[in-house]
């Protein structure tokens, strides 16, 4: 094979090795790449052997190829390059800085880095930011000069795809995912081989998910479920199922809000890593730990409503979140008294429930929350229901291709007094002073549950399900 190429995997029988293999290696000189490979137990003359050198499977040759639909394909095996937010982001399939794509009903798998890219264009400044906040701010300024606005970029629909076996991200997008909808996707086995490291690994990793909706997705067996990094403003994360992720289900990093997280099932060991302000969390089930910390070392942007224009830059002091009508589940009475530091940084605090916000600079807003099995409320939360001795024992069960949640509830949970969650209740975050509204600027109301059923208009049930009853319940969740 002549020339200097990116060679990433040798596939035997269509599947990569589960761990880095000593069965193949390469040597590269000025004009040749030579591969030595062994195939124990496999005849390479009869089985599929693919040497991956293509950077992508479906990707436009230049930006601005708008309104393309990609539907019903099986797309696999690409030697995609690393896709940081400060460079051109090439995926197995990607939109390449465009508008109005529909990517639906596809099987996308075995990308060395990213599966679907909704990311930025490339230029001479790619990979020159030195991994600094200031460098990414310059990237944003150049993007604004290069057409990053509501009229020309984003508005993509990514739905009903199965995305798996990617080493960086199932879906990645820096700036180019704004104003988009990502729904109905199954995303699993992302960065499970740990072939390399970096700060961009997740089932979904977006920078600047402005007015983007992430809805009805199933994300599991990833290193981190959903990572919203910088400029999640007007973003909504609703009715998603997260479980068996080795890292946190949701990471919100250096955002100023408003963004809304509602009707989700967070069932991994860590439900939420919150390094943002201005988030609203309503009717979620948090079965894992919550980690909170400020971020004073970086100044990041906020925007006018529904716009990519930069209104200002500031850091994250912590707090100023809203938590209404959620259910938090601990790991027993011992967790009710254990205050857990999660790193050597004393500003990190983690545990079950909202007590982790007790030391944040700005207060949070709360109401209608339920704390079970050792989960603890915020220190100034007077109306919380706390049942330290009650363990609802949530568990996912696979049945005939369905995923069901088994959970028990105490009568006290069903008798809780709550208020409907609306734009009026949520107010405005302290930094952006932009209201919690829909992308079309209409008021928000959390008036349906995880299953799409109507909520009680005056006293909705806490948690994701409006129809829960006392005792054990089995609910199909996927």
Using CA atoms, how far residue 77 sits from 109, 135, 284, in Å, is 7, 32, 36
Supply the Cα-derived Rg of the chain in whole angstroms. Answer: 23
Question: Lowest mean pLDDT: which of 42-46, 102-106, 234-238, 428-432?
Answer: 42-46
| Sign of the alpha-carbon torsion through 198, 199, 203, 209 | negative
- Two tokens at 104? 């639906």
**Is 1 a residue whose pLDDT tops 50?**
no
Confidence of residue 47 (pLDDT cuts 50, 70, 90): confident
**Is 424 a residue whose pLDDT tops 80?**
yes
In degrees and rounded to multiples of 5, residue 414 shows phi and psi of -70, -20
Question: Lowest mean pLDDT: which of 1-10, 191-200, 363-372?
Answer: 1-10
pLDDT of residue 2: 44
- Two tokens at 116? 């679907």
Contact 364, 322 (CB under 8 A): yes
CA-CA distance, 323 to 360, in Å (whole number)?
15
pLDDT of residue 477: 98
pLDDT of residue 382: 87
How large is the average pLDDT for residues 292-306? 97
pLDDT of residue 347: 78
Q: What would the pLDDT profile of 122-179 be if each residue is shown by its tens digit? A: 999 998 877 789 999 999 999 999 999 999 999 999 999 999 999 999 999 999 999 9
Edge-to-edge order in the sheet of strand 471-476: 395-399, 402-409, 471-476
Contact 42, 14 (CB under 8 A): no
pLDDT of residue 246: 97
pLDDT of residue 198: 86
**Is 18 a residue whose pLDDT tops 70?**
no
**Is 17 a residue whose pLDDT tops 70?**
no
pLDDT of residue 46: 86
What is the pLDDT of the chain when averaged over all its residues? 93
Q: Cis peptide before 258, with omega less than 30 degrees from 0?
A: yes
pLDDT of residue 406: 97
Which helix (H) or strand (E) covers residue 425, if one does? helix 423-426
pLDDT of residue 100: 99
Using CA atoms, how far residue 121 sits from 65, 104, 146, 167, in Å, is 12, 22, 9, 21
| Secondary structure (H, E, C), 121-164 | CCCCCCCCCCCCHHHHHHHHHHHHHCCCCCCCCECCEEECCEEE
Confidence of residue 420 (pLDDT cuts 50, 70, 90): very high
**Is 3 a residue whose pLDDT tops 60?**
no
**Predicted TM-score (pTM) of this structure:** 0.93
Length reported for the chain? 478
Question: Lowest mean pLDDT: which of 12-16, 247-251, 307-311?
Answer: 12-16
pLDDT of residue 340: 57
**Is 9 a residue whose pLDDT tops 80?**
no
Contact 112, 135 (CB under 8 A): no
Q: What would the pLDDT profile of 242-271 be if each residue is shown by its tens digit? A: 999 999 999 999 999 999 999 999 999 999
Per-domain residue ranges for the chain? 10-51, 69-476
Largest CA distance in the chain: 74
Q: Cis peptide before 351, with omega less than 30 degrees from 0?
A: no
Share of the chain above pLDDT 90, in %: 79
426 closest CA partner among 304, 305, 325, 333:
325
Which helix (H) or strand (E) covers residue 35, if one does? strand 33-37
DSSP 335: G
CA-CA distance, 205 to 215, in Å (whole number)?
15
DSSP β-ladder status, 157-159 and 327-329: unpaired
Our measurement of the distance from residue 265's CA atom to the centroid of its chain's CA atoms, rounded to an integer in Å, reads 13
Contact 10, 34 (CB under 8 A): no
Determine the straight-line distance between the first and last CA of the chain, rounded to whole angstroms.
46
pLDDT of residue 337: 55
CA-CA distance, 352 to 227, in Å (whole number)?
20
How many other CB atoms sit within 10 Å of the CB of residue 455?
Answer: 22
CATH number assigned to the domain with residue range 69-476, chosen from the 4 options 2.160.20.10, 3.30.413.10, 3.40.50.300, 3.40.50.1460: 2.160.20.10
Q: What would the pLDDT profile of 189-213 be if each residue is shown by its tens digit? A: 999 988 888 889 999 999 999 999 9
Contact 369, 323 (CB under 8 A): yes
């Amino acid at each position: 094979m002549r020339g200097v190429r990116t060679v990433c995997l040798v596939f035997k029988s269509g599947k990569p090795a589960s761990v880095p293999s000593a069965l193949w290696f390469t040597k590269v000189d000025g004009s040749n790449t030579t591969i030595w490979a062994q195939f124990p137990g496999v005849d390479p003359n009869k089985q599929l052997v693919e040497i991956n050198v293509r950077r992508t499977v479906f990707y436009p040759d230049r930006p601005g190829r708008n309104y393309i639909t990609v539907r019903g394909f099986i797309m696999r095996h690409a030697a995609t390059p690393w896709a940081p937010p400060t460079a051109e982001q090439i995926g197995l399939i990607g939109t390449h800085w465009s508008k109005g794509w529909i990517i639906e009903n596809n099987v996308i798998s075995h990308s060395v880095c990213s599966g679907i890219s909704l990311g930025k264009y490339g230029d001479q400044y790619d990979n020159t930011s030195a991994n600094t906040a200031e460098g990414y701010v310059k990237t944003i300024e150049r993007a604004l000069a290069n057409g990053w606005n509501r009229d020309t970029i984003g508005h993509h629909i990514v739905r009903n795809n199965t995305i798996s076996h990617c080493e960086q991200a199932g879906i990645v997008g820096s700036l180019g995912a704004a104003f988009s909808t990502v729904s109905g996707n199954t995303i699993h086995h992302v960065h499970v081989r740990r072939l390399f490291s970096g700060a961009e690994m997740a089932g979904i990793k977006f920078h600047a998910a402005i007015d983007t909706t992430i809805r009805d997705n199933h994300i599991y067996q990833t290193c981190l479920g959903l990572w919203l990094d910088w400029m999640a403003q007007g973003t909504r994360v609703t009715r998603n199922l997260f479980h068996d992720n080795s890292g946190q289900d949701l990471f919100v990093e250096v955002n100023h809000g408003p963004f809304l997280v509602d009707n989700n099932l967070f069932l991994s060991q860590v439900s939420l890593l919150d390094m943002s302000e201005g988030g609203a969390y309503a009717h979620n089930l948090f079965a894992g730990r919550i980690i909170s910390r400020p971020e004073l070392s970086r100044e990041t942007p906020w925007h006018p409503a529904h716009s990519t224009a930069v209104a200002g830059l500031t850091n994250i002091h912590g707090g100023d979140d809203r938590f209404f009508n959620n259910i938090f589940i601990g790991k027993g009475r011992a967790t009710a008294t254990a205050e857990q530091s999660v790193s050597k940084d004393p500003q990190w605090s983690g545990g079950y429930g909202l007590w982790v916000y007790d030391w944040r600079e700005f207060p949070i807003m709360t109401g209608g929350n339920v704390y079970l099995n050792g989960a603890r409320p915020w220190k100034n939360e007077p109306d919380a229901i706390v049942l330290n001795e009650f363990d609802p024992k949530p568990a996912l069960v696979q049945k005939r291709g369905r995923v069901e949640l088994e959970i028990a509830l105490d009568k006290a949970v069903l008798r809780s007094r709550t208020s409907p969650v609306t734009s009026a209740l949520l107010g405005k975050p302290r930094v952006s002073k932009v209201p919690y509204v829909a992308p079309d600027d209409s008021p928000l109301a959390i008036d349906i549950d995880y299953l799409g059923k109507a909520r009680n208009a005056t006293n909705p049930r806490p948690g994701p399900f409006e129809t829960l009853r006392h005792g054990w319940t089995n609910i199909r969740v996927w």
